[in-house]
Structure 1
Amino acid sequence: MRLPIDADYLAEKLQELLSIPSPTSYTDSVVRACSEELRRLGVEVELTRRGAIRAITRGSKRQPARAIISHLDTLGAQVKYLKANGRLELAPIGHWSARFAEGARCTIFSERGAYRGSILPLKASGHTFNEEIDTQPSGWPHVELRVDALCRDAVDMERLGIAVGDIVAVDPGTEFTDSGFIVSRHLDDKAGAAIMLAAIEAIQREDVTLPVDIFWLFSIAEEVGVGASALLTHDVASLVAIDNGTTAPGQNSSELGVTIAMADMAGPFDWHLTRKLVELCRENDIRFQNDIFRFYRSDSASAIEAGHDVRTALITFGVDASHGWERIHMHALRSCAELVTAYVTSEIQIRRDAMEMGPLQGFTTQPMGEAEQHDVSEEEVARVAAEEAAAQARRE
């Protein structure tokens, strides 16, 4: 059952989450904000030692429980070296290109407090370096952080309390357009977290009784590969991750509707769970498309690698220029939230999943029969032949 999503609430929560700096390892503030909102929505909340969130909406049955996950951590950087010129060399947190860091405003979190600054290429002045500013290499060794404080050398930086290892948070630069587009850094995966909050709000508002317990998981180290590794309980039989889909040449993702991932670099997602999500889109008139991501992994991969025997799937909102100046559309966010509500309210199909181990009885089956084919008329054969001949003539 697809529930109505409050798009204004979704956008408001996304704006709030984006305004809180949260590079991996510096996530306490965003965890507190998200937890407070979950409690306001009436959801049970508990935290791991490091701050990953496990929230629970109770259903009619405890097992086989379902889990939805997104991550609150973002890309960022750390101070790698205090340079003799009074600037900072950086090491990235997560995998992102230094070319997207050039020109970024940022905050350095030191032991003495926060400082503002800018990330600049080593040759930043056209008046000094002329055409060399266009020919210098791109990469993390070729940028530096200029701190907005009196920093003439490394001694000055030490005096300010800046040290190797300090966390650097890059400003999101968020813009909501009248046409429904949202342009910002860190939409991966603050948008996924906002989608989850919007789905929970809809469930609470509509006073829906869920068939089984739902675990709402918010991880804090997905960008460095940890993700859901320490968040699942033995009750959880299926895990649906929400993250960004990559709208780029050669990809089938879209900035509209839901993009359902069929596989990522960790391999295919669960056949049954993925097709259930596809069918829910069809039944509930939710626009969708499928895609495969070759250089991408999500929270679900870390869960499997940690040894959790759960079915996994990934639903995404299409993002242009992922891990850079990202852009999404509200249509995709709303569609993802609608699919989440349709999934968590749907009946359990594989009841055997309530058991961690069990007999063959009740085990799933996948279709193996040959597909039905319709006879092709002579007219259809002639039409196709004519089209191929015309195409060949154009090529010649």
Structure 2
Amino acid sequence: MKETINYLKKLTSIVSPTGYTKEIADYLLEELKDLGYTPVCTNKGGVNVVVCGIDDSRHRVVTAHVDTLGAMVRAIKPDGRLKMAKVGGYPWNMIEGENCLVHVANTGKTVSGTILVHQTSTHVYKDAGTVERSEDNMEVRLDAKVRNAQQTRDLGIDVGDYISFNPRTIITDTGFIKSRFLDDKVSAAILLDLLRKYKEENIKLPYTTHFMFSVFEEVGHGANSNLPKEAVEYLAVDMGAIGDDQQTDEYTVSICVKDASGPYNYEFRNHLVELAKENNIDYKLDIYPYYGSDASAAMRAGAEVKHALLGAGIESSHSYERTHIDSVRETHKLVDVYLRSELVM
């Protein structure tokens, strides 16, 4: 797990809201080259690597996404603060009080700030606790001496500049991993570590496998535009959702049977269950009611593949998230035994 956690810490340290992912793509390209692979960057900005298997007539696709939630500058307010537009789906209260960076376009310059509701001070606004958290009320308080819109513009800030949130990644002595964007950088770290393992141990997979690191999952269209014609199975490695009526927890791997897009392939998910049982992997089956994945996006795009979804259990998804190293370990094990298994029948 040490290498997986190291990959995770590196990935969460790289800013990558959807549409602003070149830095993390460049990191993946260099890391994969260093491991001895020949990765490619797609026109959409994702990173793919093909691992040739014993059988090259039928292929597998496995994905994790490295794009995250974020925001853009929607408007510069008269007092110099910023209105925001969401990138990805989350309630505004999930980012209230978070430190952030404004990325000034084409300069490499950043301006730090804090995301707050406008009516923050309880000494001034009697509705500070009850006012609606909305695009009209949420704003970025910049860490710069600005008193008006022109002074903010003088910093180079303009509409459309990206805003990233501080991930605050912490690994506790008790094995908990706390961070923003564990969805889905945990999965990306697992795939990177498996690729490292397969190369270092000279492991030959039974089928040619396409490892795809997608960069548009949070806005719904993910990795589905360049699937090989030989692909017969598509596994999305993403987060397992935790909450009321959910079986998923922070200590097992979650296998999704259905999400908002509909059921996942019945035979494929049963194959994953059997692999978990045979290999003493702790798992939970679950339904994620308000969820979509790279695999479900591929199905909407017309992919003719069996599709499945599994992932580590993530508490407080799309907020300040948490999982446990046990869940990461069980997910790592299941992805590994799946990639070494026979095709789903």
Q: Which moved more, 1:305-314 or 1:227-236?
A: 227-236
Aligned: 1:43 with 2:56: no
SS at 1:290 equivalent: strand
Cα RMSD between the aligned structures? 1.2
CA contact (8 A) 2:267 2:344 kept: no
Equivalent residue for 2:117, pick from 108, 117, 121: 121
Aligned: 1:79 with 2:55: no
Aligned positions, number: 343
Look up the match of 2:54: 60
Look up the match of 2:237: 242
* CA positional deviation for 1:349: 4.9
Per-residue CA deviations over 1:159-216 (Å, capped at 9, x if unaligned) read 2111111110011011110111111111111111001112222222332221110110
Look up the match of 2:276: 281
Moved over 6 A (4+): none
Unaligned runs of 5+ in 1: 1-6, 351-396
Distance 1:315 1:326 in 2: 17
Structure 2 letter corresponding to 1:128: V
Structure 1 letter corresponding to 2:102: I
Look up the match of 1:226: 221
Aligned: 1:184 with 2:179: yes
Distance 1:139 1:150 in 2: 25
User: Identity over the aligned pairs, expressed in percent?
Assistant: 35
Look up the match of 1:21: 15
Per-residue CA deviations over 1:68-98 (Å, capped at 9, x if unaligned) read 1010100000111110111000011000111
Look up the match of 1:93: 87
Equivalent residue for 1:333, pick from 325, 328, 332: 328
How do 1:209-220 residues align onto structure 2 when only pairs under 5 Å count?
A: 209-220=204-215
Equivalent residue for 2:299, pick from 284, 290, 304: 304
Distance 1:348 1:155 in 2: 61
Distance 2:174 2:94 in 1: 25
CA contact (8 A) 1:102 1:121 kept: yes
Aligned: 1:139 with 2:134: yes
CA contact (8 A) 1:10 1:195 kept: yes
Distance 1:331 1:56 in 2: 29
Q: Which moved more, 1:40-49 or 1:247-256?
A: 40-49
Distance 2:226 2:156 in 1: 35
* CA positional deviation for 1:139: 2.5
SS at 2:123 equivalent: helix
Which structure: greater helix fraction?
Answer: 1
Distance 2:269 2:211 in 1: 19
CA contact (8 A) 1:54 1:231 kept: no
Look up the match of 2:267: 272
When the two structures are superposed, what TM-score results if normalisation uses the length of structure 2?
Answer: 0.97
CA contact (8 A) 1:89 1:141 kept: yes
When the two structures are superposed, what TM-score results if normalisation uses the length of structure 1?
Answer: 0.84
Equivalent residue for 2:201, pick from 195, 198, 206: 206
CA contact (8 A) 1:211 1:348 kept: no
Look up the match of 1:161: 156
Equivalent residue for 1:104, pick from 83, 98, 105: 98
CA contact (8 A) 1:81 1:90 kept: yes
Look up the match of 1:364: none
Distance 1:324 1:215 in 2: 30
Unaligned runs of 5+ in 2: none
Distance 1:324 1:243 in 2: 16
* CA positional deviation for 1:320: 0.8
